[in-house]
């Protein structure tokens, strides 16, 4: 059965996430970060930041909050039992600090089929309160046996 591509281009309601200092520290400690910029507000201020800096991969936290529910969209129709995370890319425009509000826009960038596998690519664009893009990401999910 060919993979259903009708959801290509579909966009979802954007979601806003407030970056919290303790959440940044919790994430930084979980992934083993030791850079004081992520952990110590004084060190971050001394380096010119308003508060602790989010590690680049903290983008996962504020994007997932908005994107994860969209992965279950019936029009996209991914079979979760057969799905694995195949690839991931991020482009960062600048560091994000605790206290910022980040709004993430989610869309289905592409759906293709190759060798019996479905490749579902979501694109997320995360913007700051001024509307400037801070992080762009492509999330590739691979579904076997489509």
Contact set with other proteins (CB under 8 A): 23, 26-27, 29-33, 35, 37-38, 53-57, 60-61, 64-65, 68, 81, 84-92, 94-95, 138
Q: How far is the CB of 70 from other proteins (least distance, A)?
A: 14
Q: How far is the CB of 25 from other proteins (least distance, A)?
A: 10
Nearer to other proteins, 6 or 94 (CB): 94
Phi/psi of residue 60, nearest 5 degrees: -55, -40
**What is the rounded CA–CA span in Å between residue 14 and residue 105?**
5
Nearer to other proteins, 29 or 101 (CB): 29
Look up tokens 């076997």; give the residue: 144
**What is the rounded CA–CA span in Å between residue 137 and residue 122?**
8
Nearer to other proteins, 6 or 88 (CB): 88
- Residue 29 is encoded by which pair of tokens? 């400690």
Q: How far is the CB of 6 from other proteins (least distance, A)?
A: 27
Cα distances from 102 to residues 59, 80, 92, in angstroms, run: 10, 28, 13
**What is the rounded CA–CA span in Å between residue 97 and residue 99?**
6
Q: How far is the CB of 71 from other proteins (least distance, A)?
A: 11
Nearer to other proteins, 87 or 116 (CB): 87
Look up tokens 């492509």; give the residue: 138
């Amino acid at each position: 059965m060919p993979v259903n591509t009708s959801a290509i281009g579909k966009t979802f309601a954007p979601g806003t996430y407030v970056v919290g200092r303790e959440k940044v520290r919790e994430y930084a400690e979980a992934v083993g970060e030791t850079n004081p910029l992520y952990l110590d507000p004084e060190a971050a201020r001394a380096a010119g930041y308003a508060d602790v800096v989010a590690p680049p991969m903290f983008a996962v936290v504020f994007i997932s909050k908005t994107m994860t529910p969209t992965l279950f969209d019936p029009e996209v129709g991914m079979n979760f039992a057969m799905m694995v995370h195949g690839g991931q890319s991020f482009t960062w425009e600048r560091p994000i600090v605790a206290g910022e509000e980040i709004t993430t826009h989610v869309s289905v960038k592409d759906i293709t089929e190759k060798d019996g596998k479905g490749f579902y690519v979501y694109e997320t664009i995360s913007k700051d309160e001024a509307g400037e893009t801070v992080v762009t990401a492509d999330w590739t999910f691979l579904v076997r046996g489509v």
